Amino acid sequence: MINRLLRLCFCSSIKIEPVNIHYQDGLFDTTYGLLKMTRNPYLHQKQLESITNAYFLEDGVGSSFIKSLFKKDMNSLIIFDCEKMHLRNAIEIYQATKKQIDLQFFGTPKRPRNPFSKCKGPKDIFNLYRHIQNQQKLMLSRLCLVVSYNGEVRIQGTLPECGDLKYHLEEQPENVSQIGYRKYNYLLPFSAYQGIATAYNYEKEGVAIEFLNYKKIYALYGVFPPSQRQYQVLFHSYMQKLVKMHDVTHSSLYNVIDLGCATGVLGFIANDVLLRSFRDKEINIYSLDNIENAVKSAKINSQCLEYKNYTAELGDITDIETLQYQLTVFKYPAKFNLIIANPPRIQASKLRIDDSIENTVTDPDGIMLKSVFEFANRYLQIESLDSTKGRLILIYSDLSQLLELQEKEKVQELCREYKMAITYYSELPFHIKDPQNVDPLLQYKQNSKVQLFEIRKI
């Protein structure tokens, strides 16, 4: 009897209403007006069009109710009620739901499930784990907040700082009255909202970099903050070795380019070491990235560090012919003494084109890695003395090889293809922590290394 009353109480706090989609513009017609899904790479257009119900959650609803919804109605949206849900409760529901989804795939400590038992090797485990993670993200992407067209989060309670949310919303038509409806608000997945808040914290607080005298580097949304110290340790150690050789170049001009610069941290470390060591030379640091916010981050950081010799531009090294024209427009030099590259370490296809985080860590078919060599082949400075030839500094990892996603000695193979040679090598263990011990690839990641190759033309 008590359980029946609890179920009735649970259900009474849920409003179920049909959602009519506006097919032309992907709008949902709800109690809170017209709503457009945004920042959701997991639900494509056909999935949005198939949604028939929305469940508006109020305070007091538990994750078990959401779990039951996932089982009986996968084509639904779960929306935190603007007026009857507090943020602290929404966070608890989201975290509990996330845990419930984990249990669905991996079971409990007493009754564990091993979905990888039939996998024949690390490549199979990797692909299955990606699929599971994608399914988890897809399910969680149905939990949404309402955000007004002016960027206001429609939920009760004190909200964390996350900057101007309008920046993350799709632009609306300038004259909405001409297309037959009023301004609409947005549905923002709760996972995306948390990501925006976390990214804003990095943007606001920054990351202190040891090798820049603990000055801070800032990352905008969609750009990885420079929190992995191993890369910086390897690169700074190499730069210290390089300047001690005193054979960097006989010219008074030294040009450096950072391919895929992200926040610009590697270029800044190179700049700091070179400026301290060669006061008689003109040092110029150039950089490229195919992500707009990465270029913006690098420019902001260079201004904060007061580096007047630093330039960042938007360019894609995988499209080398277009880039060749762009470099002349940017007024970049024809050759570079030092090329820095830290391409994605996972050689795997992209599951979702518009997932900015995944696009940063995956390199389908090794296209980015090969493009680094193609760029170096065209733009690396060659001087008369062998000791002063330009250098490609490749910071990479053997993780893809350990996962059997990439053939062994891929870097050496590309060196042979482009008639280059590895003239210096160093490595560090790649420290990975997994407090919950749920990552099936943990042993491979813990055995992987961060690698630095100095590569020069033969």
pTM across the whole model: 0.89
Give which of 344, 348, 358 is closest to 404, Cα–Cα. Answer: 348
CA R_g for the chain: 26
* SS3 label, residue 268: helix
CB contact at 8 A, 138 and 77: no
- For residue 274, count other CB atoms closer than 10 A to its CB: 23
Q: If one looks up domain 208-457 in CATH, what number appears?
A: 3.40.50.150
Quick one: pLDDT at residue 14?
Answer: 53
CB contact at 8 A, 54 and 77: yes
C-alpha 392/C-alpha 457 separation (Å) is 9
Quick one: pLDDT at residue 2?
Answer: 36
Quick one: pLDDT at residue 48?
Answer: 86
Strand-pair partners of 425: 453
- For residue 227, count other CB atoms closer than 10 A to its CB: 12
- For residue 266, count other CB atoms closer than 10 A to its CB: 28
Tokens 């984990």 sit on residue? 102
Overall size of the chain counted in residues: 458
Q: At how many degrees (to 10) do helices 367-379 and 410-417 cross?
A: 40
Quick one: pLDDT at residue 11?
Answer: 43
The structural domains of the chain, with segments of one domain joined by +, span 19-200, 208-457
- Separation of CA 57 from chain center: 30
* Tens digit of each residue's pLDDT, the chain (458 residues): 334 333 334 444 455 554 555 545 678 888 778 889 998 888 888 888 888 788 888 888 877 777 777 777 777 888 999 999 999 999 999 999 888 888 889 988 899 999 999 999 999 999 999 999 999 999 899 999 999 999 999 999 999 888 889 888 888 776 655 545 567 899 999 999 999 999 999 899 999 999 999 999 999 998 999 988 999 999 999 999 998 876 666 678 899 999 999 999 999 999 999 999 888 889 999 999 999 999 999 999 999 999 999 999 999 999 999 999 999 999 999 999 999 999 999 999 877 666 666 777 899 999 999 999 999 999 998 765 555 679 999 999 999 999 999 999 999 999 999 999 999 999 999 877 665 567 899 999 999 999 999 999 98
The amino acid at 397: S
- Separation of CA 143 from chain center: 21
Interval 205-254: pLDDT, tens: 999 999 999 999 999 998 999 988 999 999 999 999 998 876 666 678 89
Of the chain, the end-to-end C-alpha distance in Å amounts to: 83
Interval 124-177: pLDDT, tens: 999 999 999 999 999 899 999 999 999 999 999 999 888 889 888 888 776 655
- For residue 161, count other CB atoms closer than 10 A to its CB: 8
Quick one: pLDDT at residue 354?
Answer: 64
* SS3 label, residue 289: strand
Two structure tokens written together for 226: 């420079």
Give which of 229, 208, 209, 224 is closest to 431, Cα–Cα. Answer: 229
